[in-house]
Structure 1
């Protein structure tokens, strides 16, 4: 195996572990559906986590060049680790008995989830800015191009930050559903 193949294998392992958290949680919630108090907010965050995970994983294929610097390898590993935490924090553990209260779990973990997403989005924007050439950027990244590239993430981050001070329910599920819609369009190649 080449160095890049080993790196991709490690990153894929981290992404697979993150996906396992989400899939196990979704499966357990489905099996226990008769005793689940559903939360659109938590379900939305689970959906965003899965979509973002798949998108970040798929991005590895076209950029898997044999000349990754150690900084690019580290940047991708830290991105995968941040992505792992976004997935593990939204993956609710379902007990064998009793009610499963997704809303209460969301209330307890909501701030942690928002912080994990802010870290992930901030980190991804920093990686794009600092390692644009190493990550396959064809043209030099200008400040205007960076702002255009990051507009969705900046708007998403602003909504997450607003959620720390405002407690309206739509601030929980609204940004997640909007970002999920955006990620679906990206995965379909429409954005």
Structure 2
């Protein structure tokens, strides 16, 4: 088993917990749908959280050729997985028995937390780009760092402008940029 395999195994547990948490809360919302006040913004945040789990896992492929894993690198990867888990928590409300669930209120009380965690994740991703210097594609270090700028601006929009249009714009931009990243990244697999 290589260092990459060990790190991926550790992160896979955190990703599985994140996805499991969000999906179990989503399932509870579906079962209690008669008591739920739906929010498109929270549904979009949940979709974005799932997308981040997928991207976090998928992005690991770039690091398969790293031969030496030091404590700094492993810690950054673990921190990124933990931030993704916390994003899933911030996007998934509890469904208490026989009580109404207001997804809209949950969104508005947690949107800054959600996007703040995402901003922290992006900062961690930028710190992680130094690892690219130990791969066959060191040019990805600068490319990935600069590629995070639109995502950072989107997060700042959602954190500092609470207008509904800004929240929708940030959520949609986050989703489409993330999906675009995954599509572009898929061409490097093989």
Common topology (TM > 0.5): yes
TM-score, with length taken from structure 2: 0.84
- 1:6-62 per-position Cα deviation (integer Å, ceiling 9, x unaligned): 222111001110111111111111111122111111111111110111111122245
Q: Is the contact between residue 154 and residue 173 of structure 2 (CA under 8 Å) also seen in structure 1?
A: no
The equivalent residue for 2:156 is: 161
Q: 1:76 to 1:35 in 2, by over 3 A?
A: same
Query: 1:141 and 1:112, CA in 2 relative to 1: closer, same or farther beyond 3 A?
Result: closer
Pairwise CA distance, 1:66? 6.0
Q: Alignment partner of 1:133: what SS?
A: helix
State yes or no: 1:78 paired with 2:79. yes
Root mean square deviation of aligned Cα:
2.3
Q: Aligned equivalents of 1:48 and 1:86: distance in 2?
A: 9
Q: Does 1:45 align with 2:48?
A: no
Greater RCO structure (CA 8 Å; 6+ sep): 1
Q: Structure 1 unaligned runs (5+)?
A: none
Alignment-derived partner of residue 110 in structure 2: 109
What is the aligned length? 185
2:177 aligned with 1:176: no
Cα distance, 1:117 vs structure 2: 0.8
- The aligned residue for residue 34 of structure 1 is 34
Equivalent positions of 1:127-166 (< 5 A) are 127-128=128-129, 130-134=130-134, 136-139=136-139, 141-142=141-142, 145=143, 149-150=146-147, 153-166=148-161
Which consecutive unaligned segments of at least 5 residues does structure 2 have? none
Distance (whole Å) between structure 1 residues aligned to residue 97 and residue 132 of structure 2: 47
In the aligned structure 1, how far is the partner of 2:84 from the partner of 2:171? 15
Question: Following the alignment from structure 1 to structure 2, what is the Cα–Cα distance between the partners of residues 146 and 185?
Answer: 14
Mapped partners of 1:156, 1:181: distance in 2: 11
Instruction: Quote the Cα distance in structure 2 between the aligned partners of 1:123 and 1:66.
Output: 18
The equivalent of 2:68 in structure 1 is: 68
Give the equivalent residue in structure 2 for 1:18.
18
Displacement of 1:3 in angstroms is 3.8
